[in-house]
């Protein structure tokens, strides 16, 4: 049950007594040893929650529902338009499957604290692998299937896994993603070598196993004893999830076990209005934070049925797929990214396909991952006839910082705003000097420390980077990296990132990482990558290259190489399709590339000539290059 009272009362109640608020929420979790207190401020400004508790995530997400007599309830529905199959797994079956998989991992030496990388497409086995790790207290790190081998290698070297669990392939429209060669290349490249790999063979492609290292998902479970849940300390890492930062090295966001359980469980009723037995669907991917929190853990911890969807919003087979899934499985709350709706709207602007389906069970649509443009929100509300909740969060926070908490109170909606701060988050809009700005004034968005349970306590083996990235700029606050403002009613408006992160089709990418790849090309002397506005994907990366003096290769060839290089090094998910060669990049007198001004020119926005610009004529050259690429669009 969500806390009782209006939103204002619940939020004020949290502010008055944050520890009491979270201790109350903690009552909904099954503890091996309950916490004696909520907050551990012993190492401020690094904070932990429920440190002295003992608890197991898998127990709370699976076993306890079976113990409570709901073993026959469906836990996971796998709906795959890619393979044209639907498969259902009950909580009882899930418990048995996960216990056996955990037993097999344990038999191969995986124990509490070991890291396990999971590299899998949208199949239930991905969730089972996550839960099996949780059962043993092993720390999983799921890597999104759209990343290239190099990105996988970077993660292997950073978290040093004992094992990798993977599928033989993923399925994208029109192509099979061969996972095994990617894994082999990554392990080859990485300095750290995992002890073994477990390969889940899909019938669409059977991978050749590497003798002595790879084991088959089914045969390695044969004859092993199932494993029981291992209670772990409240501050034991449940998982590491890498996300893009300013540089090419991804940040390993750590999630502690107890806070994760308490916070996600709280959100399922307070924000998503879901109770045990309800069907919840997040159309994301297990490789992203939305997949962790709301395909796997949140719905299962709350005893809901979750949907693992292997398909796209359009083309699998058409723009009615989402509505078919909602109808067929009786989805109550649905979560997707605005870009997915834009793709549907583009194919079916009048919502004709919606008329073919009975969506009467749907009570709300939730959007996150990028700014929800008002036109898309309006379109969805008009056609679905349910509240459309834009909510704002990040990999780092693991759940919504701001939302319209329908399970507490349906607040008035405001166009362009993800509504109000959730309990746990004291959101401040600050100027460069760290002073709060008045309502309506743009500033950097920060959250007063401590952050609530379930948010990142640190980065994996990189405490200094954690402090530098998030805590040092505004002492006493967590710096979100987003800029925006609050209105007089306390509604937040998230306008842009303050760093080099861009958001492409709801995927968080680093332009800095792309620049590192471009700079590695032997003909490239200098480069810049910017994110330009895109009608479908929100933003698209665009690269500018300055070539070395004396380079004799045609500019178009180098640009083509560079597009391929980013795909090979970062992966198709980077969606890096355009690079152009220019003579010079616009810079300040101190040598800083004026990326922000370039974005404004590309997007057709007015801009002030930066006072510190070295040579204003270069902006004219950039504008001409952009016009050649079709920017700004007519």
Residue 391 binding target from ligand AMP, ligand COA, none, CB below 5 to 8 Å by type: ligand AMP
How, if at all, do strands 39-43 and 524-534 pair?
Answer: unpaired
Largest CA distance in the chain: 74
Q: Would you give the DSSP letter of residue 437? A: P
Q: Under rule CB under 6 A, which residues in 267-296 are in contact with ligand AMP?
A: 289
Question: Is 507 exposed, middle or buried (CB count within 10 Å of its CB: 0-12, 13-18, 19+)?
Answer: buried
In this structure, which long-range contacts are made by residues 100-103, counting pairs with CB atoms below 8 Å and at least 24 apart in sequence? 100/221, 100/224, 100/226, 101/128, 101/129, 101/132, 101/221, 102/58, 102/132, 102/133, 102/135, 102/136, 102/226, 102/227, 103/221, 103/224, 103/225, 103/226, 103/227
Smallest separation, CB 567 to ligand COA (Å): 7
**Structure token digits, residue 444:** 């950097």
Choose one: 13-21, 40-48, 83-91, 281-289; the region binding ligand COA (CB under 6 A): 281-289
Residue 343 binding target from ligand AMP, ligand COA, none, CB below 5 to 8 Å by type: ligand COA
Q: Provide the H-helix boundaries in 90-249.
A: 91-107, 124-136, 149-159, 179-189
* Rg, Å, the chain Cα set: 24
CA distance 242 to 150: 14
Q: Is 482 in the site for ligand AMP (CB under 6 A)?
A: yes
3-state secondary structure of 38: coil
Q: Is 511 in the site for ligand AMP (CB under 6 A)?
A: no
Residue 240 binding target from ligand COA, ligand AMP, none, CB below 5 to 8 Å by type: none
Choose one: 83-91, 369-377, 559-567, 584-592; the region binding ligand AMP (CB under 6 A): 369-377
Smallest separation, CB 284 to ligand COA (Å): 4
Q: Is 342 in the site for ligand AMP (CB under 6 A)?
A: no
CA distance 136 to 59: 11
- From 81, 369, 424, 452, residue interacting with ligand COA (rule: CB under 6 A): 369
Q: Is 481 in the site for ligand AMP (CB under 6 A)?
A: yes
Choose one: 106-114, 232-240, 292-300, 391-399; the region binding ligand AMP (CB under 6 A): 391-399
Nearer to ligand AMP, 132 or 253 (CB): 253
Q: Which of 188, 180, 202 is nearest to 83 (CA)?
A: 202
E strands in 345-426: 364-367, 388-390, 402-403, 420-421
Nearer to ligand AMP, 128 or 373 (CB): 373
Residue 314 binding target from ligand AMP, ligand COA, none, CB below 5 to 8 Å by type: ligand COA
Nearer to ligand AMP, 235 or 293 (CB): 293
Nearer to ligand AMP, 269 or 394 (CB): 394
Residue 569, Cα to own-chain centre: how many angstroms?
A: 20
The residues binding ligand AMP (CB under 6 A) are 243, 289, 368-372, 390-395, 418, 481-482, 494, 497, 503, 508
The residues binding ligand COA (CB under 6 A) are 145-146, 170, 172, 177, 283-285, 288, 290, 312-314, 336-337, 339-340, 343, 368-369, 505-507, 536, 572-573, 575
């Amino acid at each position: 049950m969500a806390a009782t009272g209006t939103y204002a009362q619940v939020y004020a109640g949290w502010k008055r007594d944050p520890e009491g608020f979270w201790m109350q929420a903690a009552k909904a979790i099954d503890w091996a040893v309950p916490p004696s207190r909520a907050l551990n401020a012993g190492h401020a400004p690094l904070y932990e929650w429920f440190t002295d508790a003992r608890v197991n995530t898998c127990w709370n997400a699976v076993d306890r529902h079976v113990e409570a007599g709901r073993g026959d309830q469906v836990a996971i529905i796998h709906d795959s338009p890619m393979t044209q199959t639907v498969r259902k797994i009950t909580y009882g079956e899930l418990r048995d499957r996960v216990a056996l998989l955990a037993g097999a991992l344990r038999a191969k030496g995986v124990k509490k604290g070991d890291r396990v990388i999971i590299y899998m497409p949208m199949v239930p086995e991905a969730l089972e692998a996550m839960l099996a790790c949780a059962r043993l207290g092993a720390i999983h790190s799921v890597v999104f299937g759209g990343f290239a081998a190099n990105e996988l290698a970077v993660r292997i070297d950073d978290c040093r896994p004992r094992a990798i669990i993977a599928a033989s392939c993923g399925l994208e429209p029109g192509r099979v993603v061969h996972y095994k060669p990617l894994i082999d290349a990554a392990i080859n490249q990485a300095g750290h070598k995992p002890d073994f790999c477990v390969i889940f063979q899909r019938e669409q492609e059977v991978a050749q196993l590497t003798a002595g290292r790879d084991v088959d998902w089914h045969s390695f479970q044969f004859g092993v004893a199932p494993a029981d849940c291992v209670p772990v300390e409240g501050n034991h890492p449940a998982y590491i999830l890498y996300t893009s930062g300013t540089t090419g090295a991804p940040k390993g966001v750590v999630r502690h076990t107890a806070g994760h359980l308490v916070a996600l469980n709280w959100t399922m009723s307070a924000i998503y209005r879901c109770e045990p037995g309800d069907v919840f669907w997040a159309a994301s991917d297990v490789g992203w934070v939305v997949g962790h929190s709301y395909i796997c853990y949140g719905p299962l911890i709350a005893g809901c049925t979750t949907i693992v969807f292997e398909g796209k919003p359009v083309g699998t087979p058409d723009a009615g797929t989402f509505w078919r899934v909602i109808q067929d499985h009786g989805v109550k709350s649905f979560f997707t990214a605005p870009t997915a709706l834009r793709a549907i709207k583009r194919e079916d602007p009048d919502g004709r396909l919606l008329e073919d389906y009975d969506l009467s069970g749907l009570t709300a649509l939730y959007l996150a991952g990028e700014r929800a443009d008002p036109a898309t929100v309006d379109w969805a509300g008009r056609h679905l006839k349910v509240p459309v909740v834009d909510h704002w969060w990040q990999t780092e926070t693991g759940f919504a910082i701001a939302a319209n908490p329908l399970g507490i109170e349906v607040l008035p909606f405001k166009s362009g705003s993800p509504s109000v701060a959730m309990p746990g988050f004291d959101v401040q809009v600050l100027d460069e000097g760290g002073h709060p700005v008045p309502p309506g004034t743009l500033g950097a968005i920060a959250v007063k420390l401590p952050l609530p349970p379930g948010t990142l306590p640190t980065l994996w083996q990189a405490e200094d980077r954690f402090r530098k990235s998030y805590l040092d700029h505004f002492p006493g606050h967590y710096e979100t990296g987003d800029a925006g403002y609050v209105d007089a009613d306390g509604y937040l408006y998230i306008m842009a990132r303050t760093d080099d992160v861009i958001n492409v089709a709801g995927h968080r990418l680093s332009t800095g990482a792309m620049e590192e790849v471009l700079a590695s090309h032997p003909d490239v002397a200098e480069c810049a990558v910017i994110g330009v506005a895109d009608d479908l994907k929100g933003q698209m990366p665009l690269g500018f290259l300055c070539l070395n003096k004396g380079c004799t290769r045609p500019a178009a060839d180098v640009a083509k190489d560079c597009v391929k290089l980013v795909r090979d090094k970062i992966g198709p998910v980077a969606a890096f399709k355009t690079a152009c060669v220019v003579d010079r990049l616009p810079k300040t007198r101190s040598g800083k590339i004026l990326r922000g001004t370039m974005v404004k020119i590309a997007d057709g926005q007015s801009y002030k000539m930066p006072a510190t610009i070295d040579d204003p004529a270069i902006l004219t050259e950039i504008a001409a290059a952009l016009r050649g690429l079709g920017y700004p669009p007519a």
